[in-house]
């Protein structure tokens, strides 16, 4: 059955347009047409009553949600629960993220993601393996005892996902450029993060196949006058995507505004780095034996170390508008098209165009979620 979504403001490559209808057939967008032409194409019409229709949000860094931490439950049910929690906030595509673990746990995580995709769990696009190939000097909340060098065995495992995208965050100085090339050749998307690399090491890693940076500014060598560090290399790299946590606490908004003056907004993508507290009233949980609490919207360990976030993507979009001064269409693209491009999935998701998967979010004027569609299946909030 074809369904026409009409009466909304549709986000396209330039901004919001009115008078356009979006026709859904099965799991795809069949057409974007003048509203007067949609009725002939559709069996059913849904009046969006002036709300904003945008591509569904894509979050490449989701540690947990709805009371579930992926590290603690490497199962299809856990992935489904995390996805359901974030869908309420507009996320229609996500990577369940494994925080530094041993190779056995990484294997189980990959196999759980394969099974989730095979089972049709809504929204799961692959997996993000964040560590353990990290630098202890920039560990953050990660367990340093888990850290290891990226070797042949680990590389083969990381390239073994049979369905979906594998994103790996690593510290380039903890491996060699030829290993990065091997991962990239296997189709793995590679981001630099939790790294103390200097500028030259990051440049070499970019040439070898690193294409992004995990939570820019956080857990990486800073930019100083005579040592640009990972931050300086990231801001100079014209093609490198930078994930940013826009909660006003992980990074001062002024720093993000300055970053946006260094390279186009098209190379920034919103991430949540979300923890199990997202979607819950109870804002505490356990991570690696430590009790993590949410204080002023940020997850912190007893010693004050940041431990992911309590951020959802709809809030990140609003914060990008309000704290960084970007217009809403740009903020929405940072939550949808840009991460889709980073993952190499923009031929499938991230735009409202014929042939794209029908992953959509409906928002009110304050960018609060009214409904989502994943593969054409609606969920009204």
Other Cβ atoms less than 10 A from the Cβ of 282: the count is: 9
What is the distance, to the nearest Å, from the Cα of residue 96 to the centroid of all Cα atoms in its chain? Answer: 9
Q: Is the dihedral of CA 134, 195, 237, 205 positive or negative?
A: negative
Q: Which two tokens stand for residue 186?
A: 């296997």
Task: Output the six-digit token pair for 117.
Answer: 């995709």
Q: How far apart are CA 164 and CA 171, in angstroms?
A: 23
Q: Tell me how far apart the alpha carbons of residues 322 and 328 are, in angstroms, rounded to a whole number.
A: 9
How many C-beta atoms lie closer than 10 Å to residue 152's C-beta?
Answer: 9
- Name residue, tokens 């347009």: 17
Listing DSSP states for 203-259 in one string gives HHHHHHT--EESSTTTTBPPP-SS--HHHHHHHH-SS-EEEE--SSSSS-HHHHHHH
Q: Give Cα separations from 108 to 68, 73, 103, 127, 209 (angstroms).
A: 16, 10, 9, 11, 26
Cβ atoms of 213 and 192 closer than 8 Å: yes
- Identify the active-site residue in 273, 312, 346, 359: 273
- CA dist., res. 95 & res. 59, Å (int): 7
- The residue written with tokens 């010693």 in the block is 303
273 is catalytic: yes
Whole-angstrom distance, CA of residue 113 vs CA of residue 117: 6
364 and 61 in contact (C-beta within 8 Å)? no
Q: CA-to-CA distance for 271 and 93, rounded, in angstroms?
A: 12
Q: 294 forms bridges with which residues in the sheet?
A: 299
Distance CA 198, CA 232 (A): 9
Radius of gyration of the chain (CA): 20
Where in the sequence numbering do the catalytic residues fall? Answer: 273
């Amino acid at each position: 059955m074809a369904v026409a979504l009409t009466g909304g403001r549709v986000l396209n490559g330039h901004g919001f347009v009115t008078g356009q209808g979006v026709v859904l057939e099965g799991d795809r967008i069949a057409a974007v047409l003048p509203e007067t032409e949609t009725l002939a194409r559709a069996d059913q019409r849904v009046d969006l009553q002036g709300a904003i229709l945008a591509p569904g949000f894509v979050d490449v860094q989701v540690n947990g949600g709805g009371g579930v931490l992926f590290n603690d439950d490497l199962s299809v049910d856990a992935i489904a629960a995390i996805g359901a929690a974030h869908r309420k906030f507009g996320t229609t595509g996500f990577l369940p993220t494994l925080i530094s673990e041993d190779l056995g746990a990484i294997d189980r995580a990959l196999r759980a993601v394969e099974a989730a995709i095979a089972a049709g769990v809504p929204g799961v696009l692959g997996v993000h393996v964040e560590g353990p190939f990290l630098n202890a000097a920039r560990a953050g909340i990660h367990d340093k005892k888990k850290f290891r060098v990226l070797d042949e065995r680990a590389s083969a495992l990381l390239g073994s996902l049979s369905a979906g995208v594998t994103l790996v965050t690593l510290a380039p100085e903890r491996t060699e450029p030829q290993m990065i090339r091997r991962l990239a050749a296997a189709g793995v998307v590679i981001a630099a993060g939790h790294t103390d690399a200097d500028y030259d090491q990051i440049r070499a890693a970019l040439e070898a196949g690193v294409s992004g940076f995990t939570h820019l500014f956080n857990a990486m060598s800073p930019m100083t006058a005579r040592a640009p560090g990972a931050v300086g290399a990231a801001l100079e790299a014209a093609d490198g995507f930078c994930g940013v946590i826009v909660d006003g606490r992980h990074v001062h908004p002024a720093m993000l505004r300055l970053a946006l003056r260094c390279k186009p907004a098209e190379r920034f993508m919103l991430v949540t780095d979300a923890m199990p507290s997202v979607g819950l009233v109870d804002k505490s949980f356990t991570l690696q034996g430590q009790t993590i609490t949410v204080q002023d919207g940020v997850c912190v360990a007893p010693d004050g170390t940041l431990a992911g976030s309590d951020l959802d993507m709809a809030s990140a979009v609003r914060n990008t508008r309000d704290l960084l001064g970007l217009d809403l269409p740009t903020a929405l693209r940072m939550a949808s098209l840009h991460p889709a491009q980073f993952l190499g999935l923009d031929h499938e998701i991230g735009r409202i165009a014929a042939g794209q998967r029908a992953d959509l979010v409906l928002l009110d004027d304050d960018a609060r979620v009214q409904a989502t569609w994943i593969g054409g299946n609606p969920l009204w909030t």
